[in-house]
Amino acid sequence: MQAESSKPQVHASLSNVTRVYPGVAGNPPVNALGPINLELRRGEFFAVVGPSGCGKSTLLEVLAGLQPASSGTVMFEGAPVAGEVPEGIGVVFQEDASFPWLTVADNTAFGLRRAGMAESEIRRRVDDVLSFMGLKDFARAYPAQLSGGMRQRVCIARTLVLQPRLILLDEPFGALDAQTRLLMGDEVLRLWRRTGATVLLITHALDEAAMLSDRIGAMSARPGRFLEIVETGWPRDRDSTIVGDPRFGEITGRLWDNLRNESLKALGHAQMAAE
Amino acid sequence: MSKIAFLRLAVIVIAVGLLEAACRGGLIDHRVVIPPSEMAIALAHILATGEANHQIIRTFGIVIISVAIAVALGFVLGVIVHALPRVRQALDPLFATYYAVPIFIFYPVMIAIFGLSVVPIILIGVLNAIVAMIIATLNGLDRVPRVLTKVGRVHRMGRVSTALRLKLPAAAPHLFTGVKLAVSYGFIAVIASEFIMAPAGLGRVISDAYSDFNNPRMYGLMLLLVIVATVVNMVLHVFDQRWAERRGIART
C-alpha cells in the first residue's frame, strides 16, 4: 500500500498511439508516429528530443487534441482526448503566434475575455502574469515593437494566464539565439515551479532538454518511438547554472548516444548508421 | 511637421506655383488652362451658389455605393474562392489578366440592358473595383499564419469565431489595401462612365462645360475631383501607414 501511494500520479498518457497521414496525390500513407507509449507524471518537466521529422511535434499535437491519433488511446486527467483541446491544456508553438493587432496586455487577456471573465479579474491576472514574465513595462506595446524572445514570452504569458495544468511547449525557443534560449529556459523553470503544472517540452536541443527536464524521452527516426527515457535527477529549484554540473555532460552524452544513429537515418545515411 | 511631409507639401506648392506663373505669364494660353487661383475661385463660387450640389451628391453617392458593393462582394467572393482551391486554380489566370481588359467596353452593353440610368454606372464602378478586392482578400487569407488556426483550437474557438476574431484581423492590412484600390478604381470608373455617357453627374457636367468652352466651371469641378480623390486617398494612406507601423509591416 505504501509503495502504491508514493507512485507518481499519471497526469496524461499515450497508449499504443500511432499517427498515420493519408497518402496524397498517389503517394503511400506516411506513418509519422508510434506505436508509442508515455505516462506523464503530474507536475513533472518532461522533454522530448529526436531527429528532425521523427514525429515530436505530431506527438505534442496528438496529446493536445490538435490531431487525432490513428490508433491507441490518449488520456488527460483520466478522460480521453478526442476531437478538441481539453480545458486545462495550454500550448506554446515554435512560430510567433502573438496577435500583431493587439497590445501585449490584450494578447495576454485574449483567452480570459473569451471565457467571459470580469474585467477587474482579467486586469489582476494579466498584471500578475506580465510582472512574472518581465513584460509589465511593455503592456501597452504591440508585438512588432518587441524582440523575438519577448514576443515568445507574450505567447507564454497568454498561455500561462489561463492557469493550464498541462503546458505543451513545441520548440518555443527554436528561433532564438543561444543566450536568449538559456535565459528563457530559466524563465520556463521559474514558471513551472510557480504553477506546479506538468510541462512537456519538444526540442531538438539536447542541452536544453538536459538542463530543463526531470525526464527526457529520446525518440527514434520516423515513425517516432521512445528509444530510452532518461531520468536527470535534478533538484526542482534548478536553473541554467547546472550546465556546469558534470552530470549535465553525462546526460547530453547519453542522449547523443541514443540519437546519433537515428539522426543519421533521418538524414538518409543508413549505411553510416549501421557502422 | 516631419521633413518628408514638408517636402511633399513643397513639391505641390512649387508645382501649383509654376502652373500659376506659366498661366499668368502667358506661357500657357488662358483658353486652354486657367491659373490654379482662378480654378479655386471658380470652385468656391460653384460651392457657394450650390449650382452643382445635385451633381456632386449624385456622383459621390454612386462612388460610395459602387465601392461599398465592390468591397463587400469582393471580400465574400474572395473568402469563397480561397476555400475552394480548384476554383481558385481555374480563376487565378483570369484575375491576373482582368485589368488588361478595358471594362468600359461593356458600358454600352449595360446601357442597352439597364437604360441610361445610374445602374450601368454603378455596375461599371463595381466591375472595375471588385477584382482588386478579391485579389487582396486572397492575398490576405494566404498570409494568415497557420499557427493562428491552431491557437484558435487551443482556445476552443469554432470555425466562425476563429475566422472573425483571428483570421480577419490577421488579414486586415491586406484587406485594407484592397479597400484603397477599390476606392481608386471605383472613383475612376464612375467619373469616366459619366464622361462617356450619362444623363447627369460631375463627369457629364465637366464634359458639357468643356463643350461650352466654360473653363472656370470645367476646371473648378476638376479641382473638386482632384481634391476629394487626393484627400480620401491620403486619409486611407495615413490609416494604412499607422496600421502597418503598429504591426511592423514595411510599406512604401
Query: Is A83 within the bounds of a domain?
Result: yes
Other CB atoms within 10 Å distance of the CB of residue A145: 16
Q: Across the beta sheet with A166-170, what order do the strands follow?
A: A89-92, A166-170, A198-202, A45-49, A215-219, A226-231
Query: CB distance from A8 to chain B under 8 Å?
Result: no
Q: At what angle do helices B168-196 and B118-142 cross, to 10 degrees?
A: 150
Beta bridge partners of A224: A33
Block residue for cell numbers 453627374? B201
The Cα of A82 is separated from the nearest Cα of chain B by a number of Å equal to: 13
Residue B137 pLDDT exceeds 70: yes
Query: Is A2 within the bounds of a domain?
Result: no
The Cα of A142 is separated from the nearest Cα of chain B by a number of Å equal to: 6
Same domain, A28 and A154: no
**Residues in chain A, pLDDT under 70:** 1-8, 175, 266-275
Residue A84 dihedral angles phi and psi, to the nearest 5°: -145, 165
Best to test chain A binding among B151, B175, B249 (most A CBs inside 10 Å): B151
Query: CB distance from B155 to chain A under 8 Å?
Result: yes
User: Which amino acid belongs to residue A156?
Assistant: I
Strands A215-219 and A226-231: antiparallel
Q: Across the beta sheet with A30-41, what order do the strands follow?
A: A30-41, A10-21, A71-76, A79-80
Query: CB distance from B248 to chain A under 8 Å?
Result: yes
**Among candidates A88, A87, A113, which has minimal Cα distance to A99?**
A113
The enclosing domain of A15 has a CATH number of 3.40.50.300
Query: Is B158 within the bounds of a domain?
Result: yes
Q: Name every residue whose Cβ is closer than 8 Å to that of residue A208 and which is 6 or more positions away in sequence.
A: A47, A173, A181, A185, A201
A213, A215, A221, A223 alpha-carbon torsion, rounded to 10°: -120
The Cα of A94 is separated from the nearest Cα of chain B by a number of Å equal to: 9
DSSP category for residue A238: -
Please give the pLDDT value at position A83. Answer: 79
**Among candidates A239, A241, A133, which has minimal Cα distance to A191?**
A133
Q: Using an 8 Å CB-CB cutoff, list chain A residues near B151.
A: 93, 97
Same domain, A103 and A210: no
Query: Is B2 within the bounds of a domain?
Result: no
Cβ pair A66:B153 closer than 8 A? yes
Same domain, A81 and A175: yes
The Cα of B169 is separated from the nearest Cα of chain A by a number of Å equal to: 7
Please give the pLDDT value at position A53. Answer: 85
Cβ pair B154:A66 closer than 8 A? yes
Q: What is the mean pLDDT of residues B146-153?
A: 94
Cβ pair B247:A84 closer than 8 A? no
Q: What is the mean pLDDT of residues B202-208?
A: 94
Query: CB distance from B156 to chain A under 8 Å?
Result: yes
Q: Domain residues for B87?
A: 53-247
The Cα of A149 is separated from the nearest Cα of chain B by a number of Å equal to: 16
Please give the pLDDT value at position A258. Answer: 82
Instruction: List, for residues B80-105, the tens digit of each pLDDT value.
Output: 999 999 999 999 999 999 999 888 88
Query: CB distance from A110 to chain B under 8 Å?
Result: yes
- What's the whole-model pTM score? 0.79
| Number of CB pairs, chain A paired with chain B, less than 8 A apart | 55
Report d(CA A35, CA A191) in Å as an integer. Answer: 32
Query: CB distance from A112 to chain B under 8 Å?
Result: no
Cβ pair B153:A101 closer than 8 A? no
Same domain, A200 and A259: yes
What distance separates the 2 farthest-apart alpha carbons in chain A?
Answer: 64
The enclosing domain of B157 has a CATH number of 1.10.3720.10
Query: CB distance from B153 to chain A under 8 Å?
Result: yes
Q: Name every residue whose Cβ is closer than 8 Å to that of residue B146 and which is 6 or more positions away in sequence.
A: none
Residue B242 pLDDT exceeds 90: no
Q: Is-contact B131 B220, C-beta < 8 A?
A: no
ipTM for the complex? 0.86
Query: CB distance from A93 to chain B under 8 Å?
Result: yes
- Which run of H or E residues covers position A30? strand A30-41
Block residue for cell numbers 451628391? B57
End residue of a domain, out of A163, A198, A213: A163
Query: Is B37 within the bounds of a domain?
Result: no
Q: Which of B147, B148, B247 comes nearest A144 by C-beta?
A: B247
Same domain, A103 and A78: no
Query: Is B159 within the bounds of a domain?
Result: yes
**Number of independent structural domains in chain A:** 2
C-alpha cell at B127: 466591375
Cβ pair B247:A101 closer than 8 A? yes
The Cα of A217 is separated from the nearest Cα of chain B by a number of Å equal to: 24
3-state SS track over A65-89? CCCCCCEEEEEECCEECCCCCCCCE
Query: CB distance from A64 to chain B under 8 Å?
Result: yes
Query: CB distance from A99 to chain B under 8 Å?
Result: yes
Please give the pLDDT value at position B143. Answer: 92
Best to test chain B binding among A81, A101, A140 (most B CBs inside 10 Å): A101
Best to test chain B binding among A58, A93, A102 (most B CBs inside 10 Å): A93
Same domain, A174 and A247: yes
Q: Is-contact A49 A30, C-beta < 8 A?
A: no
Query: Is A3 within the bounds of a domain?
Result: no
Distances (CA, A) of A157 to A121, A125, A126, A168, A258: 16, 10, 8, 13, 34
End residue of a domain, out of A163, A184, A216: A163
Report d(CA A41, CA A28) in Å as an integer. Answer: 36
Cβ pair B154:A64 closer than 8 A? yes
Instruction: List, for residues B154-199, the tens digit of each pLDDT value.
Output: 999 988 899 899 999 999 999 999 999 999 999 999 999 999 888 8
Report d(CA A119, CA A109) in Å as an integer. Answer: 9
Query: Is B196 within the bounds of a domain?
Result: yes
Q: Name every residue whose Cβ is closer than 8 Å to that of residue B82 and which is 6 or more positions away in sequence.
A: B88, B137, B138, B141, B142
Same domain, A144 and A232: no
Same domain, A183 and A52: yes
Instruction: List, for residues B22-43, the tens digit of each pLDDT value.
Output: 999 999 998 899 999 999 999 9
Query: Is A4 within the bounds of a domain?
Result: no
Query: Is B67 within the bounds of a domain?
Result: yes
Same domain, A187 and A77: yes
Same domain, A21 and A132: no
Query: CB distance from A91 to chain B under 8 Å?
Result: yes
Residue A46 dihedral angles phi and psi, to the nearest 5°: -115, 130
Query: Is B131 within the bounds of a domain?
Result: yes
Q: Domain residues for A15?
A: 9-88+168-274
Same domain, A45 and A115: no
Please give the pLDDT value at position A259. Answer: 85
**Number of independent structural domains in chain B:** 1
Same domain, A39 and A116: no
Q: Is-contact A198 A42, C-beta < 8 A?
A: yes
Report d(CA B217, CA A43) in Å as an integer. Answer: 81
End residue of a domain, out of A163, A185, A204: A163
Q: Name every residue whose Cβ is closer than 8 Å to that of residue A71 and which is 6 or more positions away in sequence.
A: A16, A17, A18, A35
Higher pLDDT, B129 or A191: B129
The Cα of A103 is separated from the nearest Cα of chain B by a number of Å equal to: 10
Q: Which of A90, A100, A114 comes nearest B248 by C-beta?
A: A100
In the three-class reduction of DSSP (H, G, I as helix; E, B as strand; rest coil), residue B199 is classed as: coil
Q: Name every residue whose Cβ is closer than 8 Å to that of residue B167 and which is 6 or more positions away in sequence.
A: B141, B144, B148, B149
Please give the pLDDT value at position B197. Answer: 86
Report d(CA A62, CA A18) in Å as an integer. Answer: 9
Q: What is the mean pLDDT of residues B52-63?
A: 94
Query: CB distance from A185 to chain B under 8 Å?
Result: no
Query: Is B121 within the bounds of a domain?
Result: yes
Q: Is-contact A240 A186, C-beta < 8 A?
A: yes
C-alpha cell at B39: 480654378
Query: CB distance from B237 to chain A under 8 Å?
Result: no
Instruction: Find the closest chain B residue to A95 by CA distance.
Output: B147
Block residue for cell numbers 520556463? A188
Query: Is A229 within the bounds of a domain?
Result: yes
Please give the pLDDT value at position A275. Answer: 55
